[in-house]
Structure 1
Amino acid sequence: MHDLGGQVALVTGASAGIGRHLAHGLAARGATVVGMARTADRLTAAMGEVAAATGARTLALPADVTDRAAVDDAVGRALAEVGAIDLLVNNAGLMDAAEMPVWQADPDAWWAVVESHVRGPQLMVAAVVPGMVERGTGRVVDLASGLSTRGGPIYTAYSVGKTGLMRLTEDLAAGLAGTGVHAFDVAPGVVRTAMSSGMSIHRDRTDWTEPEQVVEMVAAVAAGQLDAWSGRFLRVGVDDPAALAALTPGDDARQLRLRPYGDADPVA
């Protein structure tokens, strides 16, 4: 396992699901873990369980990532209590409550899902990244999805939000060039959680991604093993961190681009 001793990791959506697995896995590797989530009681219990199981220091900071004041307050408390943040994991995000085409969705509920995946990470980046740039080191992981790269008839708000987040990661990485700070899209595969188990597209699934695989990819990022892949899409369960570390991606590999219709396509 990568040794993350001395690092501080801030994980949003840390009270359950993939975020909870990441909090535990990063703590087990020696990191101090700051967990953020909306529900205070569940978050506090989760961070307490992580600390008891790993011996690592944890901090529970209840906050809604789409609330600017709440984010600024939580990050300020984290900096004051545990010090500089080395790793930011933007994991928190909502899923469409109903499986229906975009024109049938409630507009406000639809937009709330999109906001959770775009406004939330952008607010977290605005609060955390300036400190990383000032120190000349730090890494941001945005939890991507296979739905970041393709459309479909359902889960449209989630798809739009995750696609927006993927572009945000690329823009962030481009702006950070030369600063020593890096940003990554990490698609976790399909981990068996309450959310994924309730989705019709996974009803008959048997090949679930193991949570430890997600932790290992994020830990490899935190350890600096994959800095050459900043601004790009990494897929847990398909990509091997050690193999990626031996490669240097070229041009716009693993980034959102239009695919030309042919050699004569003027938009290519």
Structure 2
Amino acid sequence: MKRVVVITGAGRGIGLATAKRFALAGDHLVLNYFDSREQLDAVIGIAQENGGDGIAVQADISDPEAATGVIRAAESRYGRVDVLVNNAGRLVSASVAETTWAQWKQMIDTNLGGTWACMQAVLPGMLARGEGRIINISSELGLIGFPTYAAYCASKGGVIALTKAVAKEVAPSGILVNSVAPGPIETDMLINDTIEYNDETREAVPLKRFGKPEEIAAMVEALAGPAGNYMVGQVISPNGGTAI
């Protein structure tokens, strides 16, 4: 049976790489995007070539009703959700003093609130079937903290704590919830961050390079497959050695 996979923030970066990975496996995809869907039709085409299917759903998941709508779109079309990948996120880099309340709220509402809303919407169906996988994309910065990223760190640290709490709650019912906490990955989010995207930061990584979205996608796919069968509430951090 083809898996039904929902991926939020699938329009670029880690979300797009993850979508391509599941497309190659021939899964049925529900690909959420906010403002970038240029490549999603091609990804859906890959899924169809491999025996799967897919749809793209525009939504700002910082809005709980919109986030719920993504899950309902998946259930309406395919009858269920087997795998939920909570990837959508926002980043603002600024000192605490310079971070506005609107910026703080934007990151908390998207990174943490969107994850919560999608999980809350998808769990009734998974609990009824007694199976399902949820993979939350957090960040190494939710583990270690970092100057000028306090709001982002708080939102991603919240995702990690949420992952652990929900994992304990639903594992007895057959739903496995885990998190992938990437280090610095070569995505638009990093490239547009003028504070962190530079040669000095790259050289500070023990591996002397930034990670690739495809490397994170591989970890997500592993957690969604047989390799993740005994993983409950874990935080896997592919970070090139920046957080050990």
TM > 0.5 fold call:
yes
Superposition pairs for residues 9-48 of structure 1, below 5 Å?
A: 9-39=5-35, 42-43=36-37, 45-48=38-41
2:203 matched to 1:201? no
Q: TM-score, normalised by structure 1?
A: 0.80
How many Å apart are 1:238 and its aligned residue? 6.2
Instruction: Report the residue type matching 1:63 in the other structure.
Output: A
- 8 Å CA contact 1:47–1:58 kept in 2: the answer is no
**What residue is the counterpart of 2:82 in the other structure?**
86
Instruction: Report the residue type matching 1:202 in the other structure.
Output: Y
Superposition pairs for residues 101-116 of structure 1, below 5 Å?
A: 101-116=95-110
2:4 matched to 1:8? yes
How many Å apart are 1:51 and its aligned residue? 2.1
Superposition pairs for residues 67-216 of structure 1, below 5 Å?
A: 67-96=63-92, 99-199=93-193, 200-204=195-199, 205=202, 206-216=208-218
How many Å apart are 1:108 and its aligned residue? 1.4
RMSD over aligned Cα, in angstroms?
A: 1.9
**What residue is the counterpart of 1:50 in the other structure?**
43
From the superposition, tell whether residues 238 and 101 of structure 1 become closer, same or farther in structure 2 (CA, over 3 Å).
closer
Counterpart-to-counterpart distance in 1, 2:227 and 2:31: 24
3-state SS of 1:215 partner: helix
**What residue is the counterpart of 2:225 in the other structure?**
223
- 8 Å CA contact 1:17–1:194 kept in 2: the answer is yes
Q: For 1:20-44, what per-residue CA distance to the aligned partner results, in whole angstroms no more than 9, with x for missing partners?
A: 11111111112111111222xx32x
Q: TM-score, normalised by structure 2?
A: 0.88
Instruction: Report the residue type matching 1:68 in the other structure.
Output: P
How many Å apart are 1:208 and its aligned residue? 2.1
How many Å apart are 1:116 and its aligned residue? 1.0
Moved more, 137-146 or 48-57: 48-57
Instruction: Report the residue type matching 2:190 in the other structure.
Output: S
Counterpart-to-counterpart distance in 2, 1:51 and 1:112: 29
Counterpart-to-counterpart distance in 2, 1:52 and 1:17: 19
Name the count of aligned residue pairs. Answer: 231
Larger Rg over CA atoms: 1
